[in-house]
Structure formats: C-alpha cells, structure tokens
Structure 1
Amino acid sequence: LKVSAKSTDEELLTAPFIVIATGSRPRRPEEIPFNDVTICDSDSILSTEVIPKSMIVMGGGVIGCEYASMFAAYGIKVTLFDTRNDLLRFVDQEIVQALIYHMRTNGVTMRLGEQLDKVTTDERGRAVTTLQSGKTVVTDVLLFAMGRIANIDMLNLAAAGITPDKMGQLKVNEHYQTEVPHIYAAGDVIGFPALASTSMEQGRLACCHAFNVAQSTLPKVLPYGIYTIPEISTVGKSEEELTKEGVPYEIGRAFYKEIARGQIVGDLEGLLKLTFNRVTLELLGVHIIGDGATELVHIGQAVLTYGGKVDFFVHNVFNYPTLAECYRTAALDGINRLARP
C-alpha cells in the first residue's frame, strides 16, 4: 500500500490484511453551481458564518430531513424539495406523516414529486431554484443533500484487483471480504445501511475474521436513528412491509400525552407504535417519534432480537414516571384490539 500526502514523501506500507473504511462524501453533481457560501453541500453548510433568512434543502432523505427540521427550528424559512412523492420510505409511514406535520407546523414548505430544471444565482448572490413545473424558489442558501459517494476514487483499486459496482461501492461477502480475500471493506464504502453504529460493527467483524477470532454475524435486526426535530427511531418491520409480505399483523399505539413522563417533559405529540403478529403475538417492529426516541427504541430491539412477544410488555413493570411505560400502554392497546368484535 503506497501512501502519499502533500506534506510527506511517499510511504510504502505492508500488512497481511487491509480494511478499506474510507467513508463517503456528499455528492456534488456538475449541474449544481456549488460555491460553499450560498450553494452548499451537507459538509460545507457547517462552515456558514451567517444564519440565513431562507433556505431550500434539496433531498428528502435522512440528511435532508435532519437539516430541514434543524434550520426550521432556528426560525429560518425552509423549503424541502425532493423528486419522490414521499419522505423516508424505509420508515413506517404513520411516523413519517407525523414528522411532516411537525415540519409544516414549524414553517417548512414541502415541494415533493417535483423535478429540478436548473439552479442559478441572482444579482444579490441568492440561490434561484427553477423546477420543471414552472415554480421558482429564491432563497438565501441552497443545501444540496441528494446522495453520497464512497471515498474510493483515490485508492487505485484496479491495481489491487478490486472493481467497484455500478453505484461506486465495493462488493463484500458475509465476512466483509472483497473479491481479493485479504482485503476487507466496511462502512459507507459498501453501501446500505451506512450507519456509524453498523459500520463500527462491520469493521470489528472483519478484523475478527481476519485474525480467526470467534465471532457472530451482523444482527438482522438493526435500529435506525434519525435526528430530526422531533427525533425518530425504528427497528423491525413497518406496516407497509408487513402488508407487502402478507403477514397478519396488528398494531398498538401509545401517545406521550398519555404518559406522565411525556407530560413532565412537555412532549404531548410523541408516539410509540408496535407492530406484532396477531396470531402468535410475536413482536415485529417498534416505531417511535418524539423525545428520546433513539434511546427508547433499544428496549424493543432487545425483545425483537430474542423473538419475544408483545405481551412481554404487559406482564412486566416499568419505572414510573418514564417514557418506557409507552411500551406497556402500546402493548395493552394492541392486545385490546384483538379482543374487539
């Protein structure tokens, strides 16, 4: 492995195993005239020195939604643009609709299902976004957050016998080995889910395999945390997935306003939702929006991982007052639905 930098001479490194974990960077298409002041990506926006009065966020994925809700909380007039008709497709849509409600309440304008025509700047340096529908959005700042690119273009992978796929990502097996067995890859460079938590575990498992250390595999049940305002966390199957798979399911809901801790912290609109098999009562999914969602989800993750049933929450006692009580309330709600004629 040859390593070179502007400040040092070229250095040759050797090792029996190599792990490629170079991460990713924001995609910057040529048709977007980035100047990193008024037209930024999700990295350069962090260096802004002036809080703008208006902003358009291009991209309705995790990063776009996080930034849109964050800047809206500052009182900035935010427009959220995406070519798709819905946000966060991998999240239970009831939770997504709750997020959309909160974002609109905070003044976010949605421009979904639109196609981009061009991006320019006016005489005042403001970003001018023209859509194919004829709409024009003029804002102080444009934040482009539509995709990321794996940091592999400077690695000369062809010299090592490795060929990226069509998405510019590296193909790996269950042990995170590339097509060259002693070279492993983990994290954003191998694609979905591209989370910090899963990437760290992928790297650990790759090293364990390389040095013949006893290991498991990456869990099939993974939690997702989305740091919007309010935050979202989800683990397991959504209603949409269960419907598509033809699984007989039921849901149970608990609203924070029903829970003493929700009233104490002032979150009266939070929601914890369970999906479970209506025949076996097996817990299938946990979906949360509200204060502490990314912490609260781990209780459900543990029950899911061990194949637990929804009545686990009914037959156990939770500290009072805590948001964890939502699990018991949601489980009771779901089981009561089964008893209805």
Structure 2
Amino acid sequence: MASYDVIVIGSGPGGYVAAIRCAQLGLKTACVEGRETLGGTCLNVGCIPSKALLHASHMLHEAEHNFAAMGLKGKSPSVDWKQMLSYKDETIGQNTKGIEFLFKKNKIDWLKGWGSIPEAGKVKVGDDTHEARNIIIATGSEVSTLPGVEIDEKTVVSSTGALELPKVPKKLVVIGAGVIGLELGSVYSRLGSEVTVVEYLDHVTPGMDGEVQKTFQKLLKKQGLEFIMGAAVQGVEAMKTKAKVTYKLRKDDSEETLDADVVLVATGRKPFTDGLGLESLGVEMTERGQIKTDDHWQTNVKGVYAIGDCISGPMLAHKAEDEGMAAAAVIAGQHGHVNYGVIPSVIYTHPEVAAVGKTEEQLKEEGRAYKAGKFSFMGNGRAKANFASDGFVKILADKETDRILGAHIIGPMAGDLIHEICVAMEFGAAAEDVALTCHAHPTYSEAVREAALACGDGPIHS
C-alpha cells in the first residue's frame, strides 16, 4: 500500500494544477486519472480542441471574406475536414503530453484508473488501495441533457461528439444558446452548415450583460446563425441519418418541428461524482448535486477537499485552477485565496466576448449607484484596419468612488483585453487609474482606456 501526503482524484485543470502545486510545496503527491491521457475534459474534449476548430474555421472566414479586400487574391481554400480534425488531435496531444511531462518533472505519481474513497484517508484505484493524509476531489463535470433527448454521439451529440463528426453536417440544430452551443455553432456555420439555435430563454448567453447579449446575437445572426428563442424542446427523434427536433414556443404554446442532420445538445453541465463513494463516506452535497465545501475547500469529512466543477461556482477551468492552488496551499499550512468577484469569463467566437465582475442588471438589482463608460471599436484605429470594428468595451464603476465594479467586452481579442480590468480590480483601482495609464498606439487595448475615460470627462475618439 503506497502512502502519500495528497492524492488528487482527477487530472483536469483543477486536478493537475492542484497536484503540481502540492508537489512544489514539498508534499508527496499522486494524481488519479482513468483516461488514457491527462488533462480532463478541458484538454481532451473541451476547451483546447474547440479552440483549435474555432481558430481554423476563423482563418477560413478571413480567407473567404477579408483577404481580397487586403489585396490577397487567389482561390479560396477548400476544407479538408479530415486534416482539420488531425490538427485538432495534434493540438490535444501536445497539451496532454505537456501535463505528463510536468508530472514527471515534479515527481507526481500518476495512478492510472478510476478512483473511489472507501474511507477517509484511503483512495482505491483498481485493485490497489493507497493511503493519503489528504484527498482532493477534482472530478469535474459531465454533459447535462434534457428529458426526451437521448445522446448517441452520432446524430444527437454532446460537445464531445460535435468535436469529431465524420463530416460537416448540412443542417445543424443547436439546443441551447450558451457558451458551448454558440462556439461550436460558429465553427460549423463557418464551415458551411446551416445552423439553427433553439433556446428556452429570450436571450443568448444567460447571466451576461444585457447589452452584450443583444449585440452578440445580432452579430451572430449577421454571420448566418438562425435563432429560435423562447422555445422549449419537447424531444428529439433520431433516425438513421437525420433527426427531428420538436419544440413548443412559450409565447403561444404552439408546437413546431425542425429537421437536422445533426443535433448538438448544449444545455449545460452537471457535477460528475459517480463512483467516488461519497454517500457512504458521508460527504455533504448541495441540492444541485455539488460537493459542499467550507471556506478552505474542505468537505465535512476531515482531510477530504473538493475543487472545480464538482463544487459550487462557475464551471470554468481557470476557477478550478485557482481553487487547486488555494487548496494545495491550505493543505501545506499556508493561506489559500480565490477572489470569486474577479473571475473572468470568455466566449471564443468572433468577435470574442469577455466579462468580469458585475453586470448592469446585477447593480440595478442591488440598488447600487454606478456609472457606465462605453467605447465602440468603431473608434479604434487598429480594429478598423483589421476588419474587427464590431463591438464595444463597457466599464462599470461606483458612482461615488469610481472604483471598477465590472467590465464587459465584445470585440477583437476580448478574452485577452479583459485581464487588464481583472488586474485593476484586484488592486481596487478606479476607472480613472486605467484612464490615466498610457496605452500603446495602435492597439485594441486603447478601447479599454477610452471606456475608462468615458467613466470620467469622456473618451477622446468618440
């Protein structure tokens, strides 16, 4: 029986980061993973492969729509779908092998197989039981589906199946207008699919800033995506090569059907804790099926911690990473810290969408006095030169103190630009602090400065 200071169950972004940090802090560490490769959902069938396909399909879009205007003449490229999937797989391989290298470098044992916790201080993997003074559960999440919708990963697919379709479908129906549905919908739309998004709510990307939601949907429609909003899916009938989606419109209760070659179910994710033995261990769970933890990421069972998608909070890889480092610090006798008020979210479509902190809707609900500074990318020289002038930057600041409360960006490189505001918020900065900071010209980041200026005396280029 092997003995460890820490055993981490799950090697996704939360798990592998927790394991590496534990090892760096001098703790003898092992990580349990049942997949053939490390990296969890994110690296294998989530964030990384989807970004590869988003990048490849965006290059195609640029060639088809913008190259000629820049004087780049020639035949438009054709899509070799098989090669594109190979590129995606190579990207996955490079990243997962990178985690394997980091495990070896930090002397972390990879316990291959699926783990369970028969009792506190013990982890069972296959036929072997290992002792651990501390256990970190980082088992992530799995696809959440709807009643009447059965995923076969052929005609009716989850995000996993959508990343490895044998061919580009002529008609794709996406159920759910959240991040995953819109990203993968964008990929296939660029590749030539007729994409229809069916959403229960009256707006896309639930929880995001209202103005961003409206602008985002408008831009996606301009790109060719169709939307059926306020529609409750009743069921999906999968046939040999096609599928039929039945939905009811909430406004008049009328029932409609849609034909599709492929249906992508993108209705969110739920915590994955199957097979861990949490019930017999006595681990407390929330009503939503998440593992309940205290302020130090410890469950009610001493020495058993949990992080990432299987606990409460946004299901984001970087949130899991932060919690992984924090839990490792706590176990090592240090202070672990996660600022849940400054966790950015990004949608990797084109244009990108990024947000951090409060939305206008949340501030109004709280009754907090605020001001909004907004600047359009139409006024940004770099954006105009690069055919990327759709969208805007909006900064929300306290009306009295000018302290930044949130930011919302839809536009080029939004996922990178948002971090300037994240750093500013961590330091408790005012919008004026950003406005008085010199930004290089010409860069997209100038739009962030202009939005900060708009919180005061006004932007220069608007």
Calculate the TM-score normalised by the size of structure 2: 0.69
1:325 matches 2:446: yes
Contact conserved, 2:371 with 2:398, CA < 8 A, in 1?
yes
* Amino acid aligned to 2:133: P
Q: Which runs of 5+ in 2 are unaligned?
A: 1-6, 8-31, 33-110, 115-124, 249-253
Cα shift readout 1:10-63 (whole Å, capped 9, x = no counterpart): 111110000000111112456213221111111111121100011111112221
Displacement of 1:181 after TM fit? Answer: 2.0
1:268 matches 2:389: yes
Match of 2:161 among 38, 44, 67: 44
The residue aligned with 1:131 is: 247
Q: Which runs of 5+ in 1 are unaligned?
A: none
Match of 1:298 among 416, 419, 433: 419
The residue aligned with 1:220 is: 341
* CA distance 1:211–1:314, change in 2 (3 Å): closer
Greater shift, 170-179 or 246-255, is seen at 246-255
* Amino acid aligned to 1:125: T
Contact conserved, 1:66 with 1:229, CA < 8 A, in 2?
no
Match of 1:74 among 170, 188, 191: 191
Contact conserved, 2:375 with 2:450, CA < 8 A, in 1?
yes
Displacement of 1:219 after TM fit? Answer: 4.6
The residue aligned with 2:428 is: 307
Displacement of 1:316 after TM fit? Answer: 2.2
Displacement of 1:75 after TM fit? Answer: 2.6
Displacement of 1:180 after TM fit? Answer: 0.4
Cα shift readout 1:150-206 (whole Å, capped 9, x = no counterpart): 221111112322143332210001110011021000011103212111101111111
Aligned to 1:336, the other structure's residue is in SS state coil
1:199 matches 2:199: no
Contact conserved, 1:80 with 1:109, CA < 8 A, in 2?
yes
Contact conserved, 1:202 with 1:218, CA < 8 A, in 2?
no
| Alpha-carbon separation, structure 2, partners of 1:89 and 1:159 | 36
Task: Calculate the aligned-residue CA RMSD, in Å.
Answer: 2.2
Contact conserved, 2:355 with 2:406, CA < 8 A, in 1?
yes
| Alpha-carbon separation, structure 2, partners of 1:255 and 1:60 | 24
* CA distance 1:55–1:257, change in 2 (3 Å): same
Displacement of 1:237 after TM fit? Answer: 1.4
The residue aligned with 2:369 is: 248
Displacement of 1:9 after TM fit? Answer: 5.2
Greater shift, 177-186 or 80-89, is seen at 80-89
The residue aligned with 1:210 is: 331
* Amino acid aligned to 1:50: K
Greater shift, 183-192 or 64-73, is seen at 64-73
Greater shift, 108-117 or 175-184, is seen at 108-117
Pairs aligned (count)? 336
1:257 matches 2:373: no
1:141 matches 2:262: yes
1:158 matches 2:279: yes
The residue aligned with 2:131 is: 14
Calculate the TM-score normalised by the size of structure 1: 0.92
| Alpha-carbon separation, structure 2, partners of 1:27 and 1:153 | 14
The residue aligned with 1:65 is: 182
| Alpha-carbon separation, structure 2, partners of 1:179 and 1:77 | 50
Displacement of 1:74 after TM fit? Answer: 2.0
* CA distance 1:306–1:4, change in 2 (3 Å): closer
